């Protein structure tokens, strides 16, 4: 039994491995922009929301409405990042150069690029899954539910909003990276 669980975890550790590689290959300023800034913005938005929403049913209703839009937007971004991986791997000689060119940590630039794009796709699919779950669970809330928002409700809202914002900001960075990659001219 323990061996089966170990095999299962090893076979499905891709998101964790990708996250660790993303974390190792990101600079401090990238982590501030991709992780800290979304958390700060989300915390401030939820704090501001707490002044206007005190009923748990209302908070769930707002996030249920928002999650439908998030599913559509993040799905498009995941498609962009998947397509970008294809573009990067299909541009002939540049791939060979990127595989041989090392970054400041001694890793091939190509591996770092692929890590950023695969992390973006991974986190975006996780956001879509969480949003679908939120949308589904929100449909079971009784219309006559009257209770204050528990602290874990606010924490869940901050976490969900933070990873949603994180997945958007990492896609913006990936767009910049793709632009620089495609327009790179070593002769300039």
- Which residue segment(s) compose the domain that 37 sits in? 17-182
Residue 107: pLDDT above 90? no
The Cα–Cα gap between 180 and 175 comes to 9
Top-confidence range, 32-41, 79-88, 97-106: 32-41
For residue 150, the 8-state DSSP code is P
What value, to the nearest 5°, has the Cα angle with vertex 113 and ends 171 and 109? 150
55 by DSSP, 3-state: which? strand
In a domain, 3, yes or no: no
Top-confidence range, 31-40, 126-135, 146-155: 31-40
Q: Where are the alpha helices (DSSP H) in the chain?
A: 2-11, 14-25, 28-31, 37-50, 56-90, 92-100, 109-138, 151-182
Q: Determine the distance from the C-alpha atom of residue 67 to the mean position of all C-alpha atoms in its chain, rounded to a whole number.
A: 15
List, for residues 59-99, the tens digit of each pLDDT value.
888 888 888 888 888 988 888 888 887 777 776 566 666 66
End-to-end CA separation in angstroms for the chain: 59
In a domain, 104, yes or no: yes
The Cα–Cα gap between 86 and 116 comes to 13
Q: pTM here?
A: 0.82
Mean pLDDT value across residues 173-185: 78
Residue 101: pLDDT above 70? no
Mean pLDDT value across residues 29-49: 94
Question: How many domains, in total, are found in the chain?
Answer: 1
In a domain, 83, yes or no: yes
Q: Are 38 and 165 in contact (CB under 8 A)?
A: yes
In a domain, 5, yes or no: no
Dihedral (C-alpha) 133, 134, 135, 138: value to the nearest 10 degrees? 120
In a domain, 6, yes or no: no
In a domain, 101, yes or no: yes
In a domain, 76, yes or no: yes
List, for residues 110-147, the tens digit of each pLDDT value.
778 888 888 999 999 999 998 898 888 878 877 677 88
In a domain, 188, yes or no: no
């Amino acid at each position: 039994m323990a061996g089966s669980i170990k095999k299962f975890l090893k076979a499905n550790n891709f998101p964790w491995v990708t996250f660790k590689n993303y974390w190792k290959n990101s600079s401090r300023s990238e982590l501030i922009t991709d992780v800290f800034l979304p958390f700060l913005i989300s915390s401030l938005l939820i704090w501001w929301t707490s002044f206007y929403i005190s009923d748990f049913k209302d908070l769930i209703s707002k996030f249920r409405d928002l999650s439908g839009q998030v599913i559509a937007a993040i799905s498009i971004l995941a498609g962009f990042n998947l397509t970008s991986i294809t573009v990067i791997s299909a541009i002939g000689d540049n791939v060979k150069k990127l595989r041989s060119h090392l970054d400041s940590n001694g890793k091939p630039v190509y591996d770092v690029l692929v890590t950023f794009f695969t992390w973006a796709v991974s986190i975006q699919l996780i956001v879509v899954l969480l949003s679908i779950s939120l949308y589904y669970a929100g449909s079971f809330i009784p219309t006559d539910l009257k209770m204050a928002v528990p602290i874990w409700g606010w924490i869940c809202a901050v976490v969900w909003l933070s990873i949603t914002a994180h997945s958007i900001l990492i896609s913006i960075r990936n767009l910049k990276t793709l632009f620089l990659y495609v327009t790179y001219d070593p002769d300039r």
